[in-house]
Structure 1
Amino acid sequence: MSQQKVLVLVGDAAEELDAMYPIYRIREAGYDAVVAALTTREVQLVIHDFDPNSDAYTEKDGRKLPVDIAFKDVDPTEYVGLVIPGGRAPEYIRLDDDVRRITEYFFEKDLPVGTICHGPQVPAVYGLLKGRKTAAFPPLHGDMRNAGAEIVDAPDVVDGNMVSCRGWPDMPEWSRAFMNVLEHAAVPA
C-alpha cells in the first residue's frame, strides 16, 4: 500500500506555524503532506505575533515554503485529509474555483478537514460551516456566525470530520485532535 496523502492548502501570507507545524506532524505520523497553492512556485510564509502595544497581531516575513502541486492539478480522490492553515492566505485562496472544488469534495465525502486560525474562512464562504461547530481566530467570530457556524472558544474543536482551532498557540491540542480524526477515518477505496 502506498503512503496515504494529506493535502495542505496554502498561499503567500499563510502563517508559518499554522502551515509548518501540521506539515511536519502529518509527516511524522507517516503520511505524505502534499502542499498545494495557486502555482508551484514557493510561497512566502509570514510570522504573526501578538504585541501588547498593538491593537492587532504583528506580521513579518517568515520562511519560503516549497509547493508540490497547483490547485488546478489536484485530484482530491488521492487524499485522505485536508488542512487549511491560517494567516492571510485564506482570504484570497478561497476565491479560486479549484479550492472550492477541493474543499467541497472533502466535506461531501466526510473526510478529515483541519482548519487553523483564519482557515475556516475557506469552508465558510462556500456555506460548508452552516450548523457546524468551529473555532477561529477571535476577530472572525462574526463572520463564522454569519456563515451559520456555532463558535466554540477552544484549542481543539472537533465536529465530525472537522477539527479547528483559534491559531498557532493551539497547535499541540489541535494536532492531537486532528491526527486522532485522521487515523480513525475510513480509508477511501
Structure 2
Amino acid sequence: MARVLVLAGDAAEELDTMYPVFRLREGGHEAVVAAPTTRALKLVVHDFEPGWDAYTEKPGHQLQVDLAFGDVRPEEFQALVIPGGRAPEYIRTDPHVGPIVRHFFERGLPVGTICHGPQVPAAFGLLRGRRTAAFPPLKTDMELAGATFVDAPDVVDGSMVSCRGWPDLPEWSRAFMRVLEGAAVTV
C-alpha cells in the first residue's frame, strides 16, 4: 500500500482534509499529514449560506500533524494530496513546499488537489499545459497559471486528480483511488 503525503495548514477546510485522510486509511494506505509545524492544525468549516455571495467560515476540528514541512523526505511517499481552504494561500510560501510538490510532479506520481489546493502547484508553474478543476472563482487564477480550467467533480490529467471542493469528494475520491492504485501497480 502507498504512503500518501497530505500537505495542510491552519484554516485547511475540514472536509477537504479529513475525508481524503480517512478514505486513504480505509483503503489500506498510510496518510501522513505535514504542516508548517507539528502542533495540531485548526481546521475550518466552509459552508454556503442563503443570502451570502461568498462561503462562510466557522471553526472546525483539530487534526494531528505527523511531520513539519522541513522534515518531509518526499522520496518516502508515493503520492501527494493538497486539500483546500485558506491553507494553500500561505503554505505555498513556505520554502520547503516547492521542492516537495515538484518532486511528485517531476516523477509523474499521483497528486490530488481539492478546492483551493491547486494554488500550491500553480505557484510553482506546475499546472502549465494541464487540465484542472478548482473552486470556481479560481478559474482566472488557474488560467493565468497556464492551466485549462475544467468545471467538473473529478478531473483526471495524467496522474493529477482535482475537484472543485468538498461537495465533489465522492467523485474525486473514486478517481484519485483509481489513479493511486494504478500507479502502485506500475511502481
Deviation, structure 1 residue 4: 2.7
Structure 1 contact 80–187 (Cα < 8 Å) conserved: no
CA deviations on 1:76-132 (whole Å, 9 max, x unpaired) are 011010000000000000001211111000000100000000000000010000000
Number of the residue aligned with 2:32:
34
The aligned amino acid for 2:90 is Y
Number of the residue aligned with 1:16:
14
Extract unaligned runs of 5+ from structure 1: none
* Aligned-residue CA RMSD (Å): 1.1
Q: Which residue of the other structure, out of 113, 118, 121, is the alignment partner of 2:119?
A: 121
Extract unaligned runs of 5+ from structure 2: none
Structure 2 contact 2–184 (Cα < 8 Å) conserved: no
For 1:172 and 1:186, the matched residues in 2 are separated by 21
Number of the residue aligned with 1:184:
182
For 1:98 and 1:179, the matched residues in 2 are separated by 26
Deviation, structure 1 residue 187: 6.1
1:159 aligns with 2:174: no
The within-5 A match list for 1:166-177 is 166-177=164-175
Secondary structure in structure 2 of the residue aligned to 1:23 = helix
The aligned amino acid for 1:66 is Q
Structure 2 contact 48–56 (Cα < 8 Å) conserved: yes
The aligned amino acid for 2:150 is V
Structure 1 contact 135–151 (Cα < 8 Å) conserved: yes
Secondary structure in structure 2 of the residue aligned to 1:111 = coil
For 2:157 and 2:95, the matched residues in 1 are separated by 25
% same residue? 70
For 2:124 and 2:25, the matched residues in 1 are separated by 29
Number of the residue aligned with 2:109:
111
For 1:106 and 1:52, the matched residues in 2 are separated by 39
The aligned amino acid for 1:114 is G
Q: List, as ranges, runs of 4+ consecutive aligned residues in structure 1 with deviation greater than 2 Å.
A: 186-189
Deviation, structure 1 residue 45: 0.1
Task: Figure out how many residues of one structure are paired with residues of the other and give that number.
Answer: 187
Q: Which residue of the other structure, out of 69, 76, 97, is the alignment partner of 1:99?
A: 97
Q: Which residue of the other structure, out of 65, 68, 72, is the alignment partner of 2:66?
A: 68
